[in-house]
């Protein structure tokens, strides 16, 4: 039954779910979808972006495979999400190129690391021997300007490309529904995003693994934020205070970087090990977690071994990992963050509209079936 086209397949399951309705109350996906008499492609991308793949509705479904209807909501929505990462990625050629493998992004990161090590290392080795110190400072090896170039250019690329995707997703998914976003709506959605309010919110007494995933995801996200803050503060130290790295262990950039890096590593390992159901048939981008852990791990190692001889190698590897990570970021799973944020804003706008009686012209809840 499932169609090869991800939109058709998602439409098929969401239509079945509306006819059934047993999973209402499970999550946002069902609570919102039953207001739709039928689904456009944009409606489906929107609903798909709201699914956390917790698997609860698959366990609940009397039509799940091996039933002939083969209803697999998380699988179908996941396949559609993967599809949206491909069709909204900008520029499309890069997306197509990297999308050839589910490890495309990771391969890019590894290649840039290799490049970075093989180009920078020979270039910097003479400088190390001339400085004579066992533990040279970072900027003795790679100048500050080069570092900013290696990290900053890919980051800018990443930002511009991701903004392109986000803008077109916004236009398709939310622009019509979120006409007058007021402050309360935006702040409320932001709170839900930052707390993962809907992630495993289901209190249906199942295993606690959804909750653990939430904590690991927190760890990952706030770990990244902490690393980001570390970089920001280091930049301020450098420019405003004229303090040059490496900073002492008990300085703000080092603490934030170390805690953040540790949290990212913990989060990635946790996320990778708590996924208790898989969708073997779906080609999913597998690069984000390993790439993130490469960045975090090389960063942490660099911190630990910054006074040893391997520092130079680690520095070039870390720089390469950061550059590669940023280059690959707008292609693949990373987009789930902004896309889900946009979908959540639309969900909040729809809920706000419905909270105002009389309910908007959608399907009423009288169409609930039981025998």
Ligand X SMILES: Cc1cc2nc3c(=O)[nH]c(=O)nc-3n(C[C@H](O)[C@H](O)[C@H](O)COP(=O)(O)OP(=O)(O)OC[C@H]3O[C@@H](n4cnc5c(N)ncnc54)[C@H](O)[C@@H]3O)c2cc1C
Out of 53, 70, 172, 350, point to the residue binding ligand SF4 (CB under 6 A). 53
Choose between 179 and 366: whose C-beta lies nearer to ligand X. 366
Query: Of the ranges 10-18, 148-156, 159-167, 340-348, which one interacts with other proteins (CB under 8 A)?
Result: 10-18
Does position 15 interact with other proteins (CB under 8 A)? The reply is yes
Burial class from Cβ neighbours inside 10 Å (0-12, 13-18, 19+) for residue 107 reads middle
Q: Write down the least CB distance from residue 178 to other proteins, Å.
A: 22
Q: Write down the least CB distance from residue 268 to other proteins, Å.
A: 31
Does position 16 interact with other proteins (CB under 8 A)? The reply is yes
CA atoms within 13 A on the CB side of 210: 20
Out of 48, 73, 271, 323, point to the residue binding ligand SF4 (CB under 6 A). 73
Choose between 21 and 151: whose C-beta lies nearer to ligand X. 21
Out of 61, 174, 233, 321, point to the residue binding other proteins (CB under 8 A). 61
Choose between 63 and 212: whose C-beta lies nearer to ligand X. 63
Query: Of the ranges 57-65, 121-129, 219-227, 263-271, which one interacts with other proteins (CB under 8 A)?
Result: 57-65
Does position 63 interact with ligand SF4 (CB under 6 A)? The reply is yes
Q: Please give the Cα distance from 75 to 52 (Å, whole number).
A: 11
C-alpha distances in Å from residue 34, one per residue of 17, 23, 58, 218, 261: 8, 10, 17, 30, 42
Q: Please give the Cα distance from 199 to 195 (Å, whole number).
A: 9
Out of 5, 15, 31, 60, point to the residue binding ligand SF4 (CB under 6 A). 60
Query: Of the ranges 61-69, 129-137, 266-274, 299-307, which one interacts with ligand SF4 (CB under 6 A)?
Result: 61-69
Choose between 12 and 306: whose C-beta lies nearer to ligand SF4. 12
Binding mask 190-229 for other proteins (x = CB under 8 A): -------------xxx------------------------
Out of 63, 144, 212, 218, point to the residue binding other proteins (CB under 8 A). 63
- Per the omega criterion (within 30 degrees of 0), is the bond before 91 cis? yes
Q: In the structure encoding, which two tokens stand for residue 363, read together?
A: 């399907």
Choose between 18 and 328: whose C-beta lies nearer to other proteins. 18
Binding mask 234-253 for ligand X (x = CB under 6 A): --------------------
* Nearest in space to 125 (alpha carbons), one of 144, 107, 140: 140
Give the count of residues interacting with ligand SF4 (CB under 6 A).
23
Out of 8, 22, 251, 269, point to the residue binding other proteins (CB under 8 A). 22
Out of 74, 105, 257, 330, point to the residue binding ligand SF4 (CB under 6 A). 74
Residues of this chain, 263-282, that bind other proteins according to CB under 8 A: none
Choose between 7 and 331: whose C-beta lies nearer to ligand SF4. 7
Residues of this chain, 351-370, that bind ligand X according to CB under 6 A: 370
Does position 71 interact with ligand SF4 (CB under 6 A)? The reply is yes
> 37-46 long-range CB contacts below 8 Å, 24 or more apart?
37/362, 37/363, 39/10, 39/11, 39/14, 39/15, 41/7, 42/172, 42/173, 44/7, 44/10, 44/11, 44/14, 44/80, 45/80, 45/84, 45/169, 45/172, 45/173, 46/173, 46/174, 46/343, 46/346, 46/347
Does position 344 interact with ligand SF4 (CB under 6 A)? The reply is no
> Roughly how many angstroms between the first and final C-alpha of the chain, as a whole number?
26
Does position 371 interact with ligand X (CB under 6 A)? The reply is yes
Place of tokens 């910097």: 124
Choose between 20 and 322: whose C-beta lies nearer to ligand X. 20
Residues that bind ligand X (CB under 6 A): 370-371
């Amino acid at each position: 039954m499932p169609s090869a086209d991800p939109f058709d397949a998602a439409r098929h399951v969401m239509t079945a779910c509306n006819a059934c309705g047993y999973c209402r109350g499970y999550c946002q996906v069902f609570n919102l979808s039953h207001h739709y008499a039928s689904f456009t492609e944009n409606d489906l991308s929107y609903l798909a972006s709201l699914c956390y793949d917790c698997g609860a509705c698959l366990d609940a479904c009397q039509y799940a495979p091996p039933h002939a209807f083969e209803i697999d909501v998380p699988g179908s929505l996941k396949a559609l999400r993967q599809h949206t990462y491909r069709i909204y990625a900008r520029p499309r050629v890069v997306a197509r190129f990297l999308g050839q493998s589910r490890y495309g992004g990771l391969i890019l990161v590894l290649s840039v690391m290799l490049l970075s090590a093989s180009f920078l290392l020979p270039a910097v080795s003479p400088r190390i021997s001339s400085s004579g110190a066992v533990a040279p400072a970072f900027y003795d090896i790679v100048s500050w300007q080069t570092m900013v170039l290696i990290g900053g250019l890919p980051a800018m690329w990443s930002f511009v490309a991701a903004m392109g995707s986000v803008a077109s997703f916004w236009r398709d998914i939310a622009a019509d529904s979120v006409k007058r976003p007021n402050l309360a709506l935006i702040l409320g959605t932001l709170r839900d995003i930052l707390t993962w309010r809907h992630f495993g919110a289901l209190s249906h007494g199942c295993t606690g693994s959804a909750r653990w995933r939430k904590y690991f995801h927190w760890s990952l996200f706030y770990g990244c934020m902490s690393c980001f803050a570390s970089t920001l503060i280091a930049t301020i130290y450098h420019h405003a205070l004229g303090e040059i790295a490496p900073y002492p262990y008990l300085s703000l950039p080092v603490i934030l970087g170390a805690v953040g890096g540790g949290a990212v590593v913990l989060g990635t390992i946790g996320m990778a090990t708590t996924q208790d159901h898989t969708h073997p048939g779906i080609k999913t981008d597998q690069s984000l977690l390993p790439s993130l852990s490469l960045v975090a791990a090389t960063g942490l190692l660099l911190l630990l071994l910054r006074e040893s001889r391997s520092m130079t190698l680690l520095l070039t590897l870390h720089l390469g990992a950061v550059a590669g990570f940023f280059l690959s970021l707008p292609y693949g799973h990373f987009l789930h963050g902004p896309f889900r944020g946009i979908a959540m804003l639309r969900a909040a706008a729809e809920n706000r509209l419905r909270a105002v009686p009389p309910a908007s012209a959608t399907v009423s809840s009288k169409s609930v079936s039981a025998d």
